[in-house]
Amino acid sequence: MIRKAAASHTPEPAWFKSSYSNGPDGDTCVEIAHAPGAVHVRDPKDSDGPSFIVGNQAWGAFVTYGAEA
């Protein structure tokens, strides 16, 4: 007997553009999406491309560091 794994439905995260992502040409930006315990990050110019996930603590440190610079 062959069993197929049930398709798990993972909803698409609610992506939004960072208010701090504006370069001189308007093409320097990232989109983020919040998830329980993590933040997803991607390049909106390639929304079907790769993204990465960081934990909330790491994201908080990154954002705090950026605010101090």
- What is the pTM for the complete model shown? 0.67
d(CA 5, CA 2): 10
Q: Is the pLDDT of residue 37 over 90?
A: yes
pLDDT at 18 (0 to 100): 73
Helix (H) or strand (E) holding 52: strand 51-55
CB 17 within 8 Å of CB 29? yes
Report which of 69, 67, 32, 68 is spatially closest to residue 53, judged by C-alpha positions: 32
CB 69 within 8 Å of CB 62? no
Select the more confidently predicted residue: 20 or 42: 42
| Range of the structural domain that residue 50 is part of | 16-68
Total domains, the chain: 1
What number is the average pLDDT over the span 45-54?
Answer: 88
**Looking at the domain assignment, is residue 4 inside a domain?**
no
Q: How many residues does the chain have?
A: 69
**Looking at the domain assignment, is residue 6 inside a domain?**
no
